Structure formats: C-alpha cells, structure tokens
Amino acid sequence: MNSHPEINGERLLARLDMFAKIGATPGGGVNRQALTPGDREARALLTRLAKARSFSVFQDDAANLFIRMEGRDGSQPPLLIGSHLDSQPSGGRFDGALGTLTAFEVLESLADAGVEPERPVEVVAWTNEEGCRFAPGCMGSRAFVEGKIPAEWADLRASDDGARFEDERLSTIDALAADSSHRRLGFPVAAYLELHIEQGPSLESEEIPIGIVTGVQGTRWLEVAFEGQTAHAGTTALQYRRDPLKALTMGLSALYAGVMPENADARFTVGRIAVAPGSVNAIPATASCTIDLRHPETAVLDRLEDDIRSGLTEAAARENVSVAIRKTVDMEPVTFSSDMVAALQAAAQKAGLPTKTMISGAFHDALFVAGCAPSAMIFVPCRDGLSHNEAEYVKPEDSVTGARMFLASVLELLPRA
Ligand code: GLV
Ligand code: MN
Ligand code: MN
C-alpha cells in the first residue's frame, strides 16, 4: 500500500442525502421496498457512481449488485464490504443505506489515495434484506451462500401489490443489464464486513461511537391463519359463532402477557393482521397474522415456539375454529469469527476509537455470509435507538466516525484476509 487513504465525510453525507431522496416519505423516511421502482432507482444511482469512478459492476441471479476495485492479485478472493439498499415500508434513511454507502466511500477513498489493495475489494448491495415485501429476509445473501435461488421462491407474492418475486427479480436484473456484467451466484470471499446503525439504544446512551458486533440473535417468523365461519353479526348467538378473529385476539393476548414478561431477552412482535371478508356486520371467515420471535439461544427459541403453537391451537379449539401455523423464517443465532472481531478491535485501537462489543438484535446479511466466509459487523449509534421508523436518525459525526472505523478495519483486514 502506498499512501494513506482518508474518508471524505462531506461526500459520504451528501451521498446519504441523495439516496434518502429515492422513495422519500413525507415523514422524512424512505419507502424503498425490495425490487420496487425505488429500489431499482437506488441500484441504478450506485451503478452510475461506480462507473464514474471506473469500478466494474456485476449482478448475479439474485440481483445482488457488486462493485469491484481491482487488487494487485486479481485471482485472490475479494474482501467483500456492504449492506442493503431496500427499506421497510415506513423505514428510515440509514438502515442499510449507511452501510452500503460507507462501503462505497471506502472504495472511493482507496482510489483517491491511489491505493492498490493486495486483493480485490468489492462493495455489495444485497437483495431484499428487509423481508417485508417478500419473506424471508436476507434473500440475496442467503441465495449467494447456497449458490442457488431456492425453488420455493418462484411462487412468492409481494405483500403490498401481489407481484411475483420471480418477475420482480428478473425485471430488476434487466433494468441494469446494460450497465453491468452477469456473474454466477456465489463465489469465494476472503472475508465480509458490514456497517449498520445499532437500531437499539446502548451505544447512544453509553456515549460510545462504535459497536463491534460479535454475533446475531436468532429469528423465527410464523404465519398464522385461523379459519372459522362468516355469519350474520346480529343474528348469530354465542353458541353458534365460529369466530377466527376472537380466537386470534384471545390467543395473542395470552402470548403478549406471557412471552416477553417471562423472558427478558425474548422479542415477540405481531406486525401484520388481516381479516376477511372485513365487513362491519359479519363475523369474519378468516383471521391471520405474522409473528416475529427472537432470542439469542436456539433452545429458548424452540421452547417459545412450542408455547406459541400450543397457545394458538388451544385458542382455536376454544372458539371451534381451525388454525394453520407455517414457519417462513428460521435464522439460527450466529457467532462471528473471533479473528474478525480481533481485527476490528485492533483497527479501533489504531484509530483511537472507543468500542463496545455487543450482539445484534436485528438480523443482517452478515448472519448468512458468515456461513461461507469470516464475517463481522460494526455498529454506529442512532437517536433513541429508533429504527424501522421514518424518524430514524444518525448524527453526521457518528456516520463519519463509523466510516473512519470501517476504513481502518478494511486496512487491517486486507493483509490478514
Ligand atoms: C431486519 O431488518 C430485522 O428485522 O432484523
Ligand atoms: Mn438493515
Ligand atoms: Mn431493517
């Protein structure tokens, strides 16, 4: 390496503003859900920025987008750095975008300093990390690690407009086909590093600028569908009712009272409920919901999942309705490579930055990439720990400090990876 690259903080902050305009919502956040026109626009902008710097751009069959800076030995597996550009429907401007744009800023700062790294460095924007428009989440990184698109994804439909995943995937790839080269899905990676906002309160409250993430807790998603009988609201007496919404609400109410109060580290969330036919004066025929369940230990997740299944089944029996429970996501808790964590600690020490080691409550693409390459993550504080919310906010100086830490970590990892 021949000179000392430095983060251009103004450039990074300007880029964050540029991307926040794509899919901007009136409340100051973004709605740029996976594979929508907004997501495609963000990918196209990143591609334009990459080409302006003469980096090469690739896409694979999962629509993962790669931007490559050549290394001295181009035959070496790249150091992969990045995050995602898709968002929640009512999302913030930093979740995913900060990590992707920080990785790109590092590539530019290496290029500005005339650095030719030992091995290639590639920025990646993974497809559909969020999982809200198409479940599961982290589709791009999961397909990358498996080396194929799972067959069951062909039938997936979008939660908002019913679009087919298969159609959306192909048109997203087509939209950038002229500006990128095609790559096969999955290739050897020397190491993977991702920066993200903490999405929790501890760094901000402890006034620590950098979190070094040692692992990610487990997540399970369930789709629950109660089915009863639609009937007249005014004429159907209690003993004749087969009300699926009553079963759902009574079942959930018991779970709200039990799961989190009894398990301080558990997270139990119902984010979507649907009732049909949805008439004011008819008992519903069906009532369904999603459940997001998290915990750092697999054994506890197993036990809580059993409790949820039996609680909902008993609620269905009490109301004389049926219930079907389908697991759509099962992400095992992951511990990151201790060598990677040690490299990040060394980088922070050289950069003079205080750190805190922590595990992530949110899932991230790094959880999957850890299945094929040593991986780790860096967190930066966000205001009030608030995320998946339009008001999500990261102080400019915290974004820039995170980028300095990220660059220091890349420089630490390049000779080690
Ligand atoms: C990621 O967005 C998560 O829900 O953890
Ligand atoms: Mn994210
Ligand atoms: Mn998110």
Query: What pLDDT was estimated at residue 417?
Result: 80
**The pLDDT of residue 1 is above 70:** no
Q: Is the CB of 362 under 6 A from ligand 1?
A: yes
Average pLDDT, integer, range 404-416: 96
Could you give all domains of the chain from N- to C-terminal order, each with its CATH number?
A: 9-216+333-413 (3.40.630.10), 218-331 (3.30.70.360)
| CA 234 to ligand 1 centroid distance, Å | 42
Query: What pLDDT was estimated at residue 49?
Result: 98
Strand partners, 294: 219, 267
Residue 373 φ/ψ, nearest 5 degrees: -155, 150
Residue 413 binned pLDDT confidence (cut-offs 50, 70, 90): very high
> What kind and span of H or E run contains 380?
strand 375-380
Residues with C-beta atoms within 5 A of ion ligand 3? 95
Q: Residues annotated in the binding site for Zn(2+), as ranges?
A: 84, 95, 130, 196, 388
| CA 17 to ligand 2 centroid distance, Å | 17
Q: Is the CB of 57 under 6 A from ligand 1?
A: no
Q: Is the CB of 198 under 6 A from ligand 1?
A: no
Percent of the chain whose predicted confidence (pLDDT) is above 70: 100
Atom number, ligand 1, closest to the C-alpha of residue 362: 5
Query: What pLDDT was estimated at residue 255?
Result: 98
| CA 388 to ligand 2 centroid distance, Å | 9
Coil vs helix vs strand at 177: helix
| CA 214 to ligand 3 centroid distance, Å | 19
Token pair of 54 as six digits: 């003469």
Q: Is the CB of 368 under 6 A from ligand 1?
A: no
Query: What pLDDT was estimated at residue 122?
Result: 98
* Residue 59 · residue 173 · CB < 8 Å: yes
What distance separates the 2 farthest-apart alpha carbons in the chain? 83
Average pLDDT, integer, range 283-292: 98
Strand partners, 122: 68, 80
DSSP 83-113: EE----TTB-SSTTHHHHHHHHHHHHHHHHT
Residues with C-beta atoms within 5 A of ion ligand 2? 95-96
* Residue 8 · residue 105 · CB < 8 Å: yes
Q: Whose CA is nearest to atom 5 of ligand 1?
A: 362
Residue 416 binned pLDDT confidence (cut-offs 50, 70, 90): confident
CB under 8 Å to 93, separation ≥6 — which residues? 16, 19, 20, 28, 29, 30, 392
d(CA 199, CA 412): 26
**The pLDDT of residue 2 is above 80:** no
* Residue 107 · residue 123 · CB < 8 Å: yes
The residue whose CB lies within 8 Å of the most ligand 1 atoms, and thus the one to mutate among 132, 363, 387, is 363
User: How do residues 298-335 score in pLDDT, each as one tens digit?
Assistant: 999 999 999 999 999 999 999 999 999 999 999 999 99
User: How do residues 341-367 score in pLDDT, each as one tens digit?
Assistant: 999 999 999 999 999 999 999 999 999
User: How do residues 170-198 score in pLDDT, each as one tens digit?
Assistant: 999 999 999 999 999 999 999 999 999 99
Q: How many whole angstroms from its chain centre is CA 95?
A: 8
Q: Is the CB of 293 under 6 A from ligand 1?
A: no
d(CA 363, CA 332): 10
Residue 69 binned pLDDT confidence (cut-offs 50, 70, 90): very high
pTM equals 0.96
Q: What is the DSSP letter of 161?
A: T
Q: Whose CA is nearest to atom 2 of ligand 1?
A: 130
User: How do residues 261-281 score in pLDDT, each as one tens digit?
Assistant: 999 999 999 999 999 999 999
Q: Whose CA is nearest to atom 4 of ligand 1?
A: 362
Residue 29 binned pLDDT confidence (cut-offs 50, 70, 90): very high
User: How do residues 367-386 score in pLDDT, each as one tens digit?
Assistant: 999 999 999 999 999 999 99
| CA 85 to ligand 1 centroid distance, Å | 13
| CA 383 to ligand 2 centroid distance, Å | 16
